[in-house]
Amino acid sequence: MQGSLRKMSSQLGNPVQYELVLSDQKVPLNALIGKPIKLKHTGRIFCVHCNRAIKKTFNQGYCYPCFVALAQCDRCIMKPETCHYEAGTCREPEWGQAFCLQPHIVYLANSSGIKVGITRQTQVPTRWIDQGAVQALPIFKVSSRHLSGLVEIAIAKHVSDKTNWQQMLKRQAEPLALAESRDTLITLCQPELAELKQRFGEQALMPLPDEPVIDIQFPVDVYPAKIKSRCLIKTPDISGVLQGIKGQYLIMDTGVINIRKYSGYEVGFA
């Protein structure tokens, strides 16, 4: 099979069910664990938005014109606290309304240890799966991406807002008491949270005290003792026995590859 890579699609299950996406084709992957697989880059790359042929990608799959024009590539996507929609300078106001001015979830997750993160409500639990989290707990529902970023900043003064991907791939993280951490963090952040409620309104920032911790099992037979990252640019022909899948990584006996990183790359898969 051959096509342009997109991030793997996933479905919450026991374990998570994965599919490799090649243009309009989807390849079920779980059944291939324990078997040899091969990815071969054809040398061609296509923008994931406009599909033009390009020599390099920006922001995981975009051509440069799309990268500088699309709202989904603006810096406020990575730093939502910098949202400038209200200033009237959003690159695509309609896109901002559809994606940013929608309910978001602030959550705690355990992938390589505890972290705080945000995601659109419609991206639960996909965001947690993509990060390789073995546990996740929604702690706030907020009215917009901008507000979710401000809440995240307050909580990130006390816990990380990043995943250590090497540690995530080396082992199954030990279970954490996320509900206890939630309560502690909310207490620590009370002054900042009170200020945000006063600024945006009580209904814009709703705590979720009764949400259960979500446990996520990944299809991994063998965790690598040492992380060797494979690169389609340096090694266009990558093969090995598939030992597991976690986050957006294929774990092979020859190394690991971040599929999302190569969005837009045309590959053959066998």
Residue by residue, DSSP assigns 152-185 as HHHHTTTSBSS--HHHHHHSPPPP--HHHHHHHH
172, pLDDT greater than 90:
no
The mean pLDDT value for 111-123 works out to 96
Structure token digits, residue 170: 């080396």
| pLDDT of res. 195 | 98
The string of pLDDT tens digits covering residues 48-105 is 999 999 999 999 999 999 999 999 999 999 999 999 999 999 999 999 999 999 999 9
Same-domain status, 257 and 199 = no
Same-domain status, 144 and 247 = no
Residue 93 lies in a domain: no
Domains in the chain, number = 2
Structure token digits, residue 206: 């709703």
| pLDDT of res. 55 | 96
Same-domain status, 108 and 204 = yes
Q: Read off the pTM.
A: 0.95
Q: Give the separation between CA 168 and CA 60, rounded to whole angstroms.
A: 21
| pLDDT of res. 59 | 94
- How would you classify the pairing of strands 114-120 and 104-110? antiparallel
Residue 254 lies in a domain: yes
Radius of gyration, alpha carbons of the chain: 20
Give just the sign of the alpha carbon dihedral 268, 123, 84, 94.
positive
The mean pLDDT value for 174-180 works out to 97
Final residue before a domain boundary, out of 168, 194, 213: 213
Task: For the beta carbon of residue 188, count every other beta carbon within 10 angstroms.
Answer: 15
The range of the structural domain enclosing residue 162 comes to: 102-213
Residue 132 lies in a domain: yes
Same-domain status, 111 and 201 = yes
| pLDDT of res. 127 | 97
Residue 226 lies in a domain: yes
Q: Write the DSSP symbol of residue 222.
A: -
Same-domain status, 199 and 225 = no
The string of pLDDT tens digits covering residues 220-254 is 999 999 999 999 999 999 999 999 999 999 999 99
- CA 262: distance to chain centroid? 14
Q: Give the separation between CA 147 and CA 175, rounded to whole angstroms.
A: 29
DSSP code per residue over 194-221: HHHHHHH-GGGEEE-TTPPPEE----BS
